[in-house]
Homo-oligomer: A and B are copies of this chain.
């Protein structure tokens, strides 16, 4: 087995769960009450588990390593999660839910559809491609078949909503005359395909041939909206 890279492969070292004091690492100043401490520990476990699962996949991840990285004892993990499997399943939920929550409170749709999509793609580039969150996508692709509940959840919460949102945007674009090909609304996957490819490419082939995701997405949007006059 390729020896364990103690550090995750991802260039981004920012925690996958970002926000609030509860997400702080284990060496933070001791919080006031019991409940807070427990929440901190739980957050540390989630964070650590995510890193390990991303770096090694479900089966090859050791609870020992998660515990070490989270700065807790092995037994502590079992106070928060039933077992390794359900930990993995819960984890995906825990990590994805806030992301979805943020997406559903989108900025108000202003400007052209292309601008909307470009803004969205820009965020996606910044926050997903080449980050831990991108690795999470790859993790779900990798483990999905063995964790139908994970695949189900991901489809329900992320994919189906994303597809619906894209379809709405496309239809808006068609209605406004920005997009000429009506059939595109039937396959919103086409709109996001290059972005997904970019995510995977970064994980696997970045060191062979770096990919300028931003520029690729621009070319792709030109294909859909027509090339821009001015830049």
One of A37-45, A97-105, A110-118, A216-224 contacting the partner: A216-224
B contact residues around A209 at 8 Å (CB):
155, 160
Residues of B within 8 A of A160 (CB): 208-209
Chain A interface, >50% SS class: helix
Is A147 interfacial (CB-CB < 8 Å)? yes
A145 adjacent to B55 (CB under 8 Å): yes
Looking at the complex, which one of B2, B200, B223 makes contact with A181 (CB distance below 8 Å)? B223
Q: Given A189-B201, A208-B155, are A141 and B143 neighbors across the interface (CB < 8 Å)? A: no
Asked whether A146 lies within 8 Å of B1 as measured between CB atoms, the reply is yes
What chain B residues lie within 8 Å of A155 (beta carbons)? 204-205, 208-209
Contact of A142 among B9, B142, B151 (CB under 8 A): B142
Asked whether A21 is an interface residue with its Cβ less than 8 Å from the other chain, the reply is: no
> How many residues from A make CB contacts under 8 Å with B?
56
Name A137-167 residues within 8 Å CB distance of B.
138, 140-148, 151-152, 154-156, 159-160
| CA of A224 to CA of B198, assembled, Å | 19
Of the candidates B55, B159, B190, B216, the one whose C-beta lies within 8 Å of that of A223 is: B190
Contact B216 A146 (CB under 8 A): no
Q: Would you call A168 an interface residue if the criterion is a C-beta within 8 Å of the partner chain's C-beta atoms?
A: no
Q: Which residue of B lies closest to A187 (CB)?
A: B216
Rounded to whole angstroms, the CA-CA distance of A185 and B212 in the bound complex is: 14
CB <8 Å contact, A189 and B184: no
Given contacts A138-B142, A141-B204, A204-B141, contact A189 B183 (CB under 8 A): no
Within 8 A of B (CB), among A79-122: 85
Residue of B nearest to A198 (CB): B189
Q: Let me know if A194 is at the binding interface, CB within 8 A.
A: yes
Q: Is A227 an interface residue (CB 8 A)?
A: yes
* Interface status of A73 (Cβ within 8 A of chain B): no
Q: A2-B147, A196-B197 are in contact. List 11 more A-B contacts (CB 8 A).
A: A1-B59, A57-B58, A57-B142, A141-B204, A145-B204, A154-B204, A183-B227, A184-B223, A186-B215, A186-B219, A197-B197
